[in-house]
Chain A
Amino acid sequence: MTLSTMLTTMGAGMLRTCTIFFLTLLGALPLGFVIYFARKSKIKVLSSFTKIFISIMRGTPLMLQLLVWYFGPYYLFRWSIRGYRFTAIILGFVLNYAAYFAEIYRGGIESIPAGQYEAAEVLGYTKTQTFFKIILPQVIKRILPSVTNEVITLVKDTSLAFTLAYQEVFSLAKQISASQTSFMPFLIAGIFYYIANYAVAFAMERFEKALDYYK
């Protein structure tokens, strides 16, 4: 196998890795807020359920969660769903990361002093305005470092999709390296992950800088 065929094959894998990465963020970043609000809900059943959910998501390996989402429907209910593999992967990643994001959001939201809410309330802002105009921008600034950490972890975690035999970079590197008895695929995969993380760190740093105009 020439280097260029190797790169082409693995390039397709990189694309799949990126797909997992972006779909996970697209789903988990907003879902984290939903989970946070559910956890804060006055409806006892909902908040307790959410709390247990978060603790399971954070307390068990993501690899195991992926297996459960993928094989669960069949083993438990004898449902076999065609083309379910990719959905199971995204479902697993989104739910897991949303739980982590929910906790990050919680820390951020709870760190905003009560005086901000009170000032907004006295000035007559509605609850929605207060959240979106006053609270959320400050929360975003405060949680950015933790979110960056989480996103960098996600870049590396995408490799867990190999558990469900999904042909992303890591799975391909393993396969090609075994079949070609070559070290090259590992090197390519390593460089890919490194560059991806570098890009993430760079983008997040720019974002943090953009929010540096206030303290």
Chain B
Amino acid sequence: MILEMNDIKKSFGNLNVLRGISLNVDKGEVVSIIGPSGGGKSTFLRCATFLENIDSGEIKYMGKTAASTDEYGNCHYVSAQELREFKSCYGLVFQQFNLFPHYSVLKNVMDAPVAVQKRDKSEAAETAMEMLRKMGLESKADSYPYQLSGGQQQRVAIARALALRPEILFFDEPTSALDPELTGEVLRVIKQLAEENMTMVIVTHEMPFAKAVSNHVIFMDGGVIVEQGAPEKVLGDPNEERTKSFLRNYSQ
């Protein structure tokens, strides 16, 4: 198991955003998370990537516990030092790309491997170029983010995440900030990653894409998993009324 999240609960003040969500992701698996706005999808990814602290539940990467809850209901994280080691397990691709504007494309991709993972500079540059090539952006290595289209920026962000050689990659609506004509190029590279058996968890509103790329689909609403299963089942012939009405609204 690459990732195990058990009974994750999270609230902001008295707003219960996650009310006991569990997710296991095996090596090579692609999980899509769909659901209406405000359902807690982003919050769930942010908990998985330690951008938010969970209130209770358990998070494990590669079988190693990062956060757990004792019998009194108190949640404990491993020390900040140990938590840092978990960071090389995963990558996160944001809706807004969040590239570093003052770094060139190449530096965006190779800086963390050098500064964080202490990899050799020339090796890191080579890996970075390899990732950019994969994203079809090798000619943009010396450009700055502002010189790129949104789709290109998002592909740089994917290359940046891949350069750290994560076990699992999270995507939070990777195409939502893009003009419709630019979503295709980003979805294509994600599909390509899926074909290479990259383990991924993808929050998306692109239903045909979710159907094509994933092994498992989760429909999340109101902080709970309403329905999950094979993409054909959940997206094609769901059991739950909430899923049905969500998909119906969506195709309109």
Contact = CB atoms under 8 A, between A and B. Distances in A.
Contact of B164 (A119, A124, A137, A213): A124
A129 B115 contact: yes
Given A115-B94, A214-B101, A214-B146, A121 B160 contact: no
A124 B101 contact: no
Nearest to B111: A133
Given A124-B87, A129-B115, A215 B101 contact: yes
Interface in A113-130: 113, 115-116, 118-126, 129
Contacts of A125: 112, 115-116
A141 interface: yes
Q: Is the interface of A mostly helix, strand, loop or mixed?
A: helix
B7 to A, nearest CB: 24
A70 to B, nearest CB: 43
A122 B87 contact: yes
Contacts of A214: 101-102, 144-146
Nearest to A127: B80
Contacts of B91: 122-123
B16 interface: no
A116 B102 CA distance: 11
Contacts of B144: 213-215
B191 to A, nearest CB: 23
Interface residues of B, number: 27
A148 interface: no
B30 to A, nearest CB: 20
Contact of B87 (A123, A129, A137): A123
Given A129-B115, A214-B101, A215-B146, A122 B92 contact: yes
Nearest to B145: A214
A118 B94 contact: yes
Interface residues on A, range: 20 to 34
Given A124-B116, A129-B115, A118 B98 contact: yes
A177 interface: no
Nearest to A133: B115
Contacts of A124: 84, 87-88, 112, 116-117, 164
A122 B115 contact: no
B51 interface: yes
Contacts of B50: 121
A58 to B, nearest CB: 30
Interface in B1-58: 49-51
Contacts of B100: 116, 119-120, 134
B96 interface: yes
A137 B102 CA distance: 7
Interface in A124-168: 124-126, 129, 133-134, 137-138, 141
Nearest 6 CB-CB pairings of A with B: A119-B98, A115-B98, A124-B87, A124-B116, A215-B146, A123-B112
Interface of B: 49-51, 84, 87-88, 90-92, 94, 96, 98-102, 111-112, 115-117, 144-146, 160-161, 164
